[in-house]
Homo-oligomer: A and B are copies of this chain.
Amino acid sequence: MMAEKREMSGGADEGNTGMRTAETLLRLVPMGLCIAALVVMLKNSQTNDFGSLSYSNLGAFRYLVHANGICAGYSLLSAVVAAVPRPSTMSRAWTFFLLDQILTYIILTAGAISTEVVYLAYMGDEAVTWSVACGSYGSFCRRAVAAIAVTFGVVFCYAVLSLISSYRLFSKYDAPVDHTAKGIELGGTTAYRG
Protein backbone atom coordinates (compact mmCIF):
# COMPACT_ATOMS: atom_id res chain seq x y z
CA MET A 1 0.00 0.00 0.00
CA MET A 2 2.74 2.41 0.97
CA ALA A 3 4.85 1.27 -1.98
CA GLU A 4 1.93 1.83 -4.32
CA LYS A 5 1.39 5.33 -3.00
CA ARG A 6 5.08 6.11 -3.28
CA GLU A 7 5.16 4.84 -6.86
CA MET A 8 2.07 6.84 -7.72
CA SER A 9 3.47 9.95 -6.12
CA GLY A 10 6.73 9.50 -8.05
CA GLY A 11 4.82 9.41 -11.31
CA ALA A 12 2.65 12.33 -10.31
CA ASP A 13 5.75 14.24 -9.26
CA GLU A 14 7.35 13.80 -12.67
CA GLY A 15 4.12 14.74 -14.41
CA ASN A 16 3.83 17.71 -12.11
CA THR A 17 7.37 18.91 -12.80
CA GLY A 18 6.61 18.68 -16.51
CA MET A 19 3.38 20.58 -16.06
CA ARG A 20 5.15 23.23 -13.97
CA THR A 21 7.83 23.69 -16.62
CA ALA A 22 5.17 23.92 -19.32
CA GLU A 23 3.25 26.53 -17.34
CA THR A 24 6.40 28.58 -16.66
CA LEU A 25 7.25 28.55 -20.38
CA LEU A 26 3.65 29.43 -21.27
CA ARG A 27 4.00 32.46 -18.98
CA LEU A 28 7.37 33.50 -20.48
CA VAL A 29 6.08 33.38 -24.08
CA PRO A 30 3.46 36.16 -23.57
CA MET A 31 6.11 38.17 -21.70
CA GLY A 32 8.28 38.13 -24.84
CA LEU A 33 5.29 38.91 -27.06
CA CYS A 34 4.18 41.77 -24.78
CA ILE A 35 7.62 43.36 -24.88
CA ALA A 36 7.74 42.98 -28.68
CA ALA A 37 4.31 44.61 -29.11
CA LEU A 38 5.29 47.31 -26.59
CA VAL A 39 8.52 48.21 -28.40
CA VAL A 40 6.90 48.22 -31.86
CA MET A 41 4.11 50.49 -30.63
CA LEU A 42 6.37 52.78 -28.55
CA LYS A 43 8.65 53.44 -31.54
CA ASN A 44 5.66 53.95 -33.82
CA SER A 45 5.57 57.52 -35.11
CA GLN A 46 5.54 59.07 -38.55
CA THR A 47 6.16 62.62 -39.74
CA ASN A 48 5.27 63.83 -43.22
CA ASP A 49 3.94 66.88 -45.04
CA PHE A 50 0.51 66.49 -43.40
CA GLY A 51 1.94 66.61 -39.88
CA SER A 52 3.19 64.02 -37.46
CA LEU A 53 1.45 61.11 -35.78
CA SER A 54 2.67 59.01 -32.89
CA TYR A 55 1.05 56.22 -30.86
CA SER A 56 0.45 58.68 -28.00
CA ASN A 57 -2.00 60.69 -30.14
CA LEU A 58 -4.51 57.84 -29.94
CA GLY A 59 -5.99 56.76 -26.61
CA ALA A 60 -6.43 53.16 -27.74
CA PHE A 61 -2.74 52.79 -28.57
CA ARG A 62 -1.71 54.36 -25.24
CA TYR A 63 -3.93 51.78 -23.53
CA LEU A 64 -2.33 49.02 -25.64
CA VAL A 65 1.14 50.11 -24.51
CA HIS A 66 0.09 50.21 -20.84
CA ALA A 67 -1.73 46.88 -21.08
CA ASN A 68 1.31 45.23 -22.69
CA GLY A 69 3.58 46.71 -20.02
CA ILE A 70 1.42 45.46 -17.16
CA CYS A 71 1.06 42.10 -18.89
CA ALA A 72 4.82 41.72 -19.41
CA GLY A 73 5.46 42.50 -15.73
CA TYR A 74 2.77 40.13 -14.50
CA SER A 75 3.91 37.38 -16.88
CA LEU A 76 7.48 37.55 -15.54
CA LEU A 77 6.35 37.65 -11.92
CA SER A 78 3.86 34.80 -12.33
CA ALA A 79 6.43 32.72 -14.27
CA VAL A 80 8.84 33.04 -11.33
CA VAL A 81 6.13 32.11 -8.81
CA ALA A 82 4.94 29.21 -11.00
CA ALA A 83 8.50 27.90 -11.36
CA VAL A 84 9.03 27.51 -7.60
CA PRO A 85 8.22 23.87 -6.69
CA ARG A 86 5.85 23.93 -3.73
CA PRO A 87 2.38 22.54 -3.01
CA SER A 88 -0.32 24.76 -4.41
CA THR A 89 -2.46 26.32 -1.69
CA MET A 90 -6.05 27.46 -2.07
CA SER A 91 -5.23 31.16 -1.75
CA ARG A 92 -2.42 30.86 -4.29
CA ALA A 93 -4.71 29.09 -6.77
CA TRP A 94 -7.40 31.77 -6.29
CA THR A 95 -4.83 34.56 -6.78
CA PHE A 96 -3.52 33.00 -9.98
CA PHE A 97 -7.05 32.38 -11.23
CA LEU A 98 -8.32 35.92 -10.59
CA LEU A 99 -5.19 37.69 -11.87
CA ASP A 100 -5.06 35.51 -15.00
CA GLN A 101 -8.72 36.30 -15.70
CA ILE A 102 -8.22 40.04 -15.19
CA LEU A 103 -5.08 40.10 -17.36
CA THR A 104 -6.92 38.17 -20.10
CA TYR A 105 -9.71 40.76 -20.06
CA ILE A 106 -7.25 43.69 -20.04
CA ILE A 107 -5.15 42.41 -22.93
CA LEU A 108 -8.23 41.32 -24.90
CA THR A 109 -9.85 44.76 -24.62
CA ALA A 110 -6.53 46.42 -25.55
CA GLY A 111 -6.31 44.31 -28.70
CA ALA A 112 -9.99 44.87 -29.53
CA ILE A 113 -10.08 48.67 -29.21
CA SER A 114 -6.76 49.04 -31.06
CA THR A 115 -8.16 46.90 -33.86
CA GLU A 116 -11.22 49.17 -34.00
CA VAL A 117 -9.04 52.30 -34.19
CA VAL A 118 -6.87 50.81 -36.95
CA TYR A 119 -10.04 49.75 -38.78
CA LEU A 120 -11.34 53.34 -38.55
CA ALA A 121 -7.94 54.68 -39.62
CA TYR A 122 -7.95 52.44 -42.70
CA MET A 123 -11.62 52.79 -43.64
CA GLY A 124 -12.61 56.16 -42.21
CA ASP A 125 -16.27 56.88 -41.51
CA GLU A 126 -18.17 59.27 -43.77
CA ALA A 127 -21.22 59.61 -41.52
CA VAL A 128 -19.16 61.16 -38.70
CA THR A 129 -16.64 62.76 -41.13
CA TRP A 130 -13.67 60.75 -39.87
CA SER A 131 -11.03 60.73 -42.59
CA VAL A 132 -8.88 57.81 -43.76
CA ALA A 133 -5.75 58.48 -41.69
CA CYS A 134 -3.80 55.57 -43.17
CA GLY A 135 -3.81 57.31 -46.56
CA SER A 136 -1.31 59.82 -45.15
CA TYR A 137 0.24 57.65 -42.45
CA GLY A 138 0.66 54.28 -44.17
CA SER A 139 3.74 52.99 -42.36
CA PHE A 140 2.33 54.09 -38.99
CA CYS A 141 -0.76 51.98 -39.63
CA ARG A 142 1.25 48.95 -40.77
CA ARG A 143 3.38 48.99 -37.61
CA ALA A 144 0.24 49.42 -35.49
CA VAL A 145 -1.26 46.35 -37.18
CA ALA A 146 1.92 44.39 -36.42
CA ALA A 147 1.78 45.38 -32.73
CA ILE A 148 -1.92 44.42 -32.56
CA ALA A 149 -1.27 41.05 -34.23
CA VAL A 150 1.40 40.27 -31.62
CA THR A 151 -1.01 41.39 -28.89
CA PHE A 152 -3.56 38.84 -30.10
CA GLY A 153 -0.84 36.21 -29.71
CA VAL A 154 -0.68 37.31 -26.06
CA VAL A 155 -4.49 37.04 -25.85
CA PHE A 156 -4.31 33.44 -27.07
CA CYS A 157 -1.61 32.56 -24.50
CA TYR A 158 -3.68 34.12 -21.73
CA ALA A 159 -6.85 32.32 -22.79
CA VAL A 160 -4.90 29.05 -22.37
CA LEU A 161 -3.37 30.24 -19.06
CA SER A 162 -6.87 31.11 -17.76
CA LEU A 163 -7.97 27.59 -18.61
CA ILE A 164 -4.98 26.12 -16.76
CA SER A 165 -5.41 28.30 -13.68
CA SER A 166 -9.15 27.57 -13.46
CA TYR A 167 -8.34 23.85 -13.77
CA ARG A 168 -5.79 24.19 -10.96
CA LEU A 169 -8.25 26.07 -8.76
CA PHE A 170 -11.51 24.22 -9.31
CA SER A 171 -10.06 20.71 -9.44
CA LYS A 172 -9.47 21.24 -5.70
CA TYR A 173 -13.22 21.45 -5.13
CA ASP A 174 -15.69 18.58 -5.13
CA ALA A 175 -18.12 18.32 -8.03
CA PRO A 176 -21.60 19.03 -6.64
CA VAL A 177 -23.66 17.69 -9.51
CA ASP A 178 -22.00 14.32 -9.85
CA HIS A 179 -22.35 13.64 -6.15
CA THR A 180 -26.06 14.25 -6.43
CA ALA A 181 -26.29 12.06 -9.49
CA LYS A 182 -24.63 9.21 -7.55
CA GLY A 183 -26.84 9.91 -4.55
CA ILE A 184 -29.96 9.72 -6.68
CA GLU A 185 -28.75 6.43 -8.09
CA LEU A 186 -28.07 5.01 -4.63
CA GLY A 187 -31.10 6.44 -2.90
CA GLY A 188 -33.43 5.62 -5.73
CA THR A 189 -35.78 8.48 -4.80
CA THR A 190 -35.89 10.12 -8.23
CA ALA A 191 -36.33 8.63 -11.66
CA TYR A 192 -34.38 10.82 -14.05
CA ARG A 193 -30.90 9.96 -15.33
CA GLY A 194 -28.95 11.51 -18.23
Q: A residues within 8 Å of B by Cβ?
A: 2, 5-6, 8-10, 12-13, 15-16, 19, 51-54, 57-60, 85-89, 101, 105, 108-109, 112-113, 115-117, 119-121, 123, 125-131, 133, 137, 159, 162-163, 166-184, 186-187, 189-190, 192-194
Q: Which residue of B lies closest to A50 (CB)?
A: B129
Q: Which residue of B lies closest to A179 (CB)?
A: B12
Across chains A and B, which 5 residue pairs bring their CB atoms closest together, nearest first? A9-B183, A87-B181, A57-B127, A170-B170, A109-B112
How many subunits of this chain does the assembly comprise? 2
Q: How far, in Å, is A28 (CB) from chain B's closest CB?
A: 20
Question: Are A6 and B127 interface neighbours, CB within 8 A?
Answer: no
Are A9 and B119 neighbours in the complex by a CB distance under 8 Å? no
State the main secondary structure of chain A at its contact with B.
Answer: helix
Asked if A173 and B167 sit within 8 Å, CB to CB, the answer is yes
Q: How far does the alpha carbon of A128 sit from the alpha carbon of B120 in the complex, in Å?
A: 11
Residues on B with beta carbons closer than 8 Å to the beta carbon of A169: 170
Given contacts A130-B131, A173-B167, contact A125 B57 (CB under 8 A): yes
Contacts of A178 in B (CB 8 A): 87-88, 172
Given contacts A51-B127, A171-B173, 14 further A-B contacts (CB under 8 A): A6-B183, A9-B184, A9-B187, A10-B187, A13-B180, A57-B127, A59-B119, A86-B193, A87-B180, A87-B194, A116-B117, A120-B120, A171-B174, A172-B178
